[in-house]
Amino acid sequence: MIFTEASAHFVRLCANKPIHFIVSTLIVSSVFYLTIFDHYISKVNNASYNSLTFYHAPGNTNSSQWNIVANDTEFNFLNEPSSDSPVSHYIVTPLIFRAHSKNVPLPVNTTSLLSGSDRHERFFISNISSVAVPPETFENVDGDIFKLRPSNRLGRYYEYFKSMASIIKNAAAGAEPLDLIMVALAYAAMLFSVIQLFYEMRRAGSKFWLAFGSLLSSVIAFLFAIIICTEIFGIDLPLASMSEGIPFLVAAVGFRHKIAYTVPIMNAIRKNPRSNIADTMSKVVLTTTASPLIKEEVLAAIIAGTVAIFSSNLTGLYNFCILIAVLMITDLFITFTFYSAIISLKAQINTVHRQIELREALEEEGVSTDVATSVAVANTDGNQKQLFEHNGSIWVFKIVLILGFLCLHLFALGTSWLYDDLSDFSASTSLFSYSSSEYLTHSLADKVPIGNNGTLITVMPAKIYRRITLVTNLEDLLFDFISRISLAIRDPYVSKFLFMVAGVSSAINVYLLNVARNHLFIEAQSSMSSKKVEQSENVSSTRSENSRPLSVEKKATKNEKSTKPHTFSHSKSRKVVSDSVDSSTNSADNVKDHEIVEDSSEDESVRPLDELVEIMKAGKVSEELNDAEVCELATRGKMPLYALEKHLGDTTRAVVVRRKAIAKLANAPVLTSGRVPWKDYNYDRVFGACCENVIGYIPLPLGIAGPLIIDGVPYHIPMATAEGCLVASTMRGCKALNAGGGVETELTSDGMTRGPCVRFPSLSRAGTAKRWLDSEEGQKSVKEAFNSTSRFARLQHARTALAGTLLFIRFKTTTGDAMGMNMISKGVEYALKYMQEKCGFDDMDVVSLSGNYCTDKKPAAINWIEGRGKSVVAAATVPADVVKKVLKSDVDALVKLNIDKNLVGSAMAGSIGGNNAQAANLVTAVYLATGQDPAQNVESSSCITLMEKLPNGDLSISVSMPSIEVGTIGGGTILEAQAAMLELLGVRGPNQKHPGANARQLAKIVASAVLAAELSLCSALAAGHLVRAHMQHNRNSNLKSGAVKKIAPTPATADGVVKKDDVKRLKQGSKICIKS
């Protein structure tokens, strides 16, 4: 559809240049807004400040006989001079004097200044034949100066509201009660639509900005529609008519179309965080949102236009229908342009903030700044929904923005905020009391003489005089300053200069946004492919040489030794790339190619060691030394192996050189082959974060178990293991658990611990420190010190234990989505320092930051009792028929086996947290697959498995694991393969909406996987399947080669007779264990 394609094109254009379209649209809409504001407000002001004329017939001095002159024709007729004498005509200007004190005398009366009924009132009277203007200042008998002030008091707002109330009252008086109820319901529905907009946009991931942008775009569309109707079509749109009709329109149309337009776009951007935002938006608009939006808006415009055609004789309805039709079209245009630019800008800012959050979290976990930045750029997580970290400064900005908008309009409506207050205002001295009343005050009428031919009195708007004080002088200075600025801005040269400055400012904003966007997308792509590009250049530059036979290449190299100088560029020195750079596997051909490249490096010239050392000291290793020379420096002890990355500036080249050096030092030629792979790996993420002295990587088989339904959501669980039958056994457990409805989990505790050891000179001092730490004051002080070190770590409590003069303090801390050992160690170090310097424990000596009271990577009862990391309980119910058909066992046998093996057996062994069958198997496999610390398997595998038979015969099984130590940022999670597995589980990176939610969910997944493995293994043990299953998996190759003779197991019975049913059951069980 042409309209859909055009809309997608507009969206892509606006999304690529969001600031351009936002600024230009706001400038145009501001002009329209000021035009409309001036148009409607000027009518109010003119109505408020028009003079009124009253006439009194001759021969009657009764002050109550004054009549208002209704129109200009009547005024001109009365004001025409007669043959005898003209009508007496006086100009009266009410003056109001303010002195802030009743004791200050007012200016004295003169022939032109008459007193009124109120103490503050004076009337300045002049004849029409000699019109006099009230002076700027008056002086009283004490010498106080009263100066004319702008007639824009706070009381004027009262007049606006009073006037509005009067209009509403008059309109309501002539309306039916049902009409009033309908209008009130329309306003309530409009308010509900706005509230619903903010609620739905909050669900879409924005607490303020998207909803505000939706409202703003609708208002701009409304401004465009009013300008088109009034200026182009010449339609009169009274405020009263719009105030009655707009609520019905908003209630009927609402903001559903904006929500339906926004949510799919934001979801698509979150699902594809690395894709181009403009392309993603254009695709969603083209395929999903444009067509229904266009149909809805155009249909509404057609309906409104049709009604307008058939109601042309009803002016009010006709005008309003035309306004609706135009509004639908302008709203459609603004949505595809201005609002799309807002969404694009919002998404780009979201991405920048997520990157910053991830980088800061990685840095707090001890990852180097370069690696943290690289990971943050390339691994912006799509699960994060929150735009900003909602801190105080952003809320202040929002409030100031709204207040500034309101204050601007209040000032435009007219007020002097510096000196007026409600106490100064009274209804009797209303500014409008002299211009809107249809009668004269008696105090004025009595002072005007009646002429022979009648008398006319024109009452001008009231003027306010205030006694000059410091406040009024300040106001004068302020207004003088503003007026001078306004005058300067109107200067043709200054205005052009300011316009240029505004353009430069907008250009700078555009530039900064483009820099951020390029940093996110272009840099992310280049960081992932930089080495491949460089390697491809090396391949193309040496393609002709590598295509020749090896002997020819060697001869050419020998000839070059005597003719070419010893100068090497960075690219030429790296002869370590095979022709199959993009290959992700290490085939035999790859190994052969690698060996050829390694052999060719042996023919590289090596200069004298002294010369190489001088080049190294000059810092030109990467530019002037080839790999063989760098290897020579390393093997001679002149360059540490761990410093190769620093000297070479290339992590991949450092790995190759280190392999050669260690192969020589350890006499291990295997390192020069492809048996230990090194290619096609991003070592930038490893260096400074995961490993040192890197020579490659170890491939580990990766399997997937599942899906397993956990809390109603299916998960495919990655497992990296070299143990056969483990994944298959877990698969069978997942199948059985899913048949019973899946796994239910509960997280009972979340807090990583660190337990430093400190020493005091005496037991009394150690006891004092313990009592202080256990007190409320001590806990509060330590928490404040600890929490000041991190944006993410928050201390829950500190438990203490005393052993002689040694005090052990166990800090328990939430660490967000990080596992948190580095984060908490930094906080503990500062907290101990704070105790020494600020809390009076300067005699405290820190023995060790980790005093084994944590306890980390060691079995400990304190972890089993109090927990460490995430404490999770996972439970499920397995129907009895599933136990029999899938697990090939029965409930009674499983329950008895669990008691005898996992409970009694572990108790006899004195095990702490070892009341399980194979929790460590699953914990380690999932940890390796998801980048966790495998050494923490020691405490993370603490688990108690419980089984019982339910009254209906089903099996209830649960695992309780109090010390699951996992994280989704930092450590091995920054590696690409491990990060991909976290993404598979939907828990990659930090969760900004609910910090720590991703790590907690990963802990629940680990516990659920353990539950599946426990169920399957215990079933196999109860049925006697274990040995056969492992033989089938782990001895399969030997059976095929004939090395081991296939022997069918014969289970023993009490009488020595094997039952055929038992044999059949064993065979079926082994097949299921294998196939599942």
Which of 987, 991, 971, 911 minimizes the C-alpha distance to 943? 911
Q: Which residues contact 425 (CB under 8 A, 6 or more apart)?
A: 153, 154, 155, 158
Instruction: Please tell me the predicted confidence (pLDDT) of residue 584.
Output: 37
Candidate from 23-27, 290-294, 330-334, 1062-1066 with smallest mean pLDDT: 1062-1066
Structure tokens that stand for 376 in this block: 């943050």
Q: Is position 933 annotated as part of the catalytic site?
A: yes
pLDDT band at 952; cut points 50, 70, 90? very high
Q: At what angle do helices 315-334 and 239-253 cross, to 10 degrees?
A: 50
Q: Is the dihedral of CA 128, 130, 133, 139 positive or negative?
A: negative
Residue 942: predicted pLDDT: 95
Contact (CB, 8 A) for 66 and 54? yes
User: What pLDDT shows up at residue 879?
Assistant: 94
pLDDT of residue 431: 35
Residue reference for tokens 């065979």: 1067
The whole-number pLDDT of residue 368 equals: 60
d(CA 831, CA 849): 11
How confident is the model at residue 716, as a pLDDT? 95
Lowest mean pLDDT among 21-30, 815-824, 831-840: 21-30
List pLDDT tens digits, range 774-813.
Answer: 999 999 999 999 999 888 889 999 999 999 999 999 999 9
Does 594 qualify as catalytic in the annotation? no
Mean pLDDT of 319-324: 84
Tell me which residue of 1009, 928, 943, 1072 sits closest to 715, measured CA to CA: 1009
- Full set of structural domains in the chain with CATH: 2-41+180-410 (1.20.1640), 50-154+416-476 (no CATH), 567-699 (1.10.3270.10), 704-750+868-1023 (3.90.770.10), 757-848 (3.30.70.420)
- Rounded distance between C-alpha atoms, residue 453 and residue 291, angstroms: 76
Least confident of 65-69, 160-164, 764-768, 871-875: 160-164
Q: Cβ(833)–Cβ(780) under 8 Å?
A: no
Q: Is the pLDDT of residue 733 over 90?
A: yes
pLDDT at residue 729 in the model: 92
Angle subtended by helix axes 2-16 and 340-364, to nearest 10: 50
* Percentage of the residues of the chain whose pLDDT score is greater than 90: 27
- Residues 6 or more apart in contact with residue 704 via CB below 8 angstroms: 716, 717, 718, 719, 727
Look at residue 301 and give its three-state secondary structure: helix
The listed range with the strongest mean pLDDT (521-530, 556-565, 569-578) is 521-530
Give the pLDDT confidence score for residue 537 in this predicted structure: 44
How confident is the model over 735-753, as a mean pLDDT?
A: 94
Instruction: Tokens for 773, please give them.
Output: 């730490």
Give the DSSP letter string of 708-742: EEETTEEEEEEEE-S-TTHHHHHHHHHHHHHHTT-
Nearest to 796 by CA among 867, 881, 896: 867
For residue 376, give every residue at least 6 positions away whose Cβ sits within 8 Å of its Cβ, in sequence order, or none: 355, 356, 358, 359, 362
Average pLDDT over residues 834-845: 93
Q: How far is CA 10 from the centre of its chain?
A: 26
- Backbone phi, then psi, for 331, in 5-degree steps? -65, -40
Q: pLDDT averaged over the chain?
A: 76
Output the six-digit token pair for 958: 């649960």
**Residue indicated by tokens 């002195």:** 99
How would DSSP label each residue in 176-220? -HHHHHHHHHHHHHHHHHHHHHHHHHHHHT-SSHHHHHHHHHHHH
Residue at token pair 């296939």: 1046
Check residue 805 and give its pLDDT.
95
Q: Which two tokens stand for residue 372?
A: 């943290």
pTM: 0.60
List phi, psi (to 5°) of 956.
-105, 125
Average pLDDT, stretch 7-11?
A: 83
Write the DSSP symbol of residue 254. T
What 408-415 contacts at long range (C-beta under 8 Å, 24+ apart), as own/partner pairs, is 410/157, 412/37, 412/41, 413/41, 413/156, 413/157, 413/160, 414/150, 414/151, 414/152, 414/156, 415/152, 415/153, 415/154, 415/156, 415/157
Residue 590 has pLDDT above 70, yes or no: no
Residue type, 453: N
pLDDT at 386: 38
* Distance, C-alpha 507 to centroid of its chain: 25
User: Taking Cα atoms as reference points, which of 193, 216, 191 lies closest to residue 25?
Assistant: 216
pLDDT of residue 105: 63
pLDDT at 710: 95
* Residue, of 363 and 517, whose pLDDT is higher: 363
Measured CA to CA, the distance from residue 279 to residue 1020 in angstroms comes to 53
Highest mean pLDDT among 93-97, 905-909, 969-973, 1063-1067: 905-909
Q: Give the Å distances, CA to CA, from 152 to 116, 148, 370.
A: 22, 12, 60
Whether the CB-CB separation of 931 and 973 falls below 8 Å is answered with yes
What are the backbone angles phi and psi of residue 782, rounded to the nearest 5°? -65, -40
pLDDT(434) > 60? no
Write down the pLDDT at residue 43: 56
Instruction: Report pLDDT for 463.
Output: 77
pLDDT above 50: residue 662:
yes
Q: What are the phi and psi torsion angles at 721 (to 5°)?
A: -155, 155
Under the banding of pLDDT at 50, 70 and 90, the label for residue 520 is low
Reported as a single tens digit per residue, the pLDDT across 29-85 is 888 877 877 776 655 555 445 567 777 777 666 666 677 775 555 555 555 554 455
- Region of residue 500 (left: phi > 0; alpha: psi -120 to 50; beta: else): alpha
pLDDT of residue 429: 39
Secondary structure element (H or E) that encloses residue 65, with its range: none
Closest CA to 1025 of 1070, 991, 961, 959: 1070
Tell the burial category of 712 from Cβ atoms under 10 Å away from its Cβ (0-12, 13-18, 19+).
Answer: exposed
- What average pLDDT does this structure show over 742-768? 95
Enter the tokens of residue 145. Answer: 């100066």
Percent of the chain residues past pLDDT 70, beyond the cut: 68
Residue 52 DSSP SS3: strand
Phi, then psi, of 991 in degrees rounded to 5: -105, 110
Lowest mean pLDDT among 173-187, 264-278, 307-321, 557-571: 557-571
Radius of gyration of the chain (CA): 43
Report pLDDT for 561: 39
> Distance between CA 390 and CA 394 in Å, rounded?
6
**Separation CA 848–CA 850 (nearest Å):** 5
Average pLDDT over every residue of 873-894: 93
Two structure tokens written together for 590? 């790859």
Strands 88-98 and 463-467: parallel
**Quick one: average pLDDT of 607-622?**
88
388-to-138, 204, 207, 374, 572 alpha-carbon distances in Å: 58, 14, 9, 21, 47
Catalytic residue among 296, 723, 892, 976: 723
Say which amino acid occupies 780.
Answer: K
- Is 723 labeled as catalytic in the residue annotation? yes
The pLDDT of residue 78 is: 53
The pLDDT assigned to 517 comes to 58
pLDDT for 129 equals: 61
Look at 1038 and 197; give whichever has higher pLDDT: 197
Most confident of 72-81, 106-115, 1016-1025: 1016-1025
Crossing angle of helices 776-787 and 821-838, rounded to 10°: 120
Question: CB burial class (10 A; 0-12, 13-18, 19+) of residue 637?
Answer: exposed
- How many other C-beta atoms can be found within 10 angstroms of the C-beta atom of residue 380? 23
The answer to whether residue 1014 scores a pLDDT higher than 90 is yes
The CB-based long-range contact list for 192-200 (8 Å cut-off, 24+ gap) reads: 192/251, 193/250, 193/251, 193/254, 193/255, 194/255, 196/254, 196/255, 197/254, 197/255, 197/258, 197/259, 200/259, 200/263
Largest CA distance in the chain: 151
Rounded CA-CA distance 450/473 in Å is 42
Q: How far apart are CA 842 and CA 703, in angstroms?
A: 55
Average pLDDT (536-562) is 40
Is the per-residue pLDDT at 192 higher than 50?
yes
Distance (Å, whole) CA 529 – CA 378:
11
Catalytic residue (choose from 593, 933, 939, 1014)? 933
Residues 6+ apart with CB under 8 A from 344: 14, 15, 16, 18, 277, 278, 281
CA distance 514 to 19: 10
Phi-psi group of 933: left, alpha or beta (phi > 0 → left; psi -120 to 50 → alpha; rest → beta) = beta
| pLDDT at 385 (0 to 100) | 37
Q: Quick one: pLDDT at residue 407?
A: 60
Q: Which of 797, 857, 896, 1071 is catalytic?
A: 857
381 contacts 988 by C-beta, under 8 angstroms:
yes
At 1056, is the pLDDT very low, low, confident or very high (cuts 50, 70, 90)? very low
pLDDT band at 577, cuts 50/70/90? very low
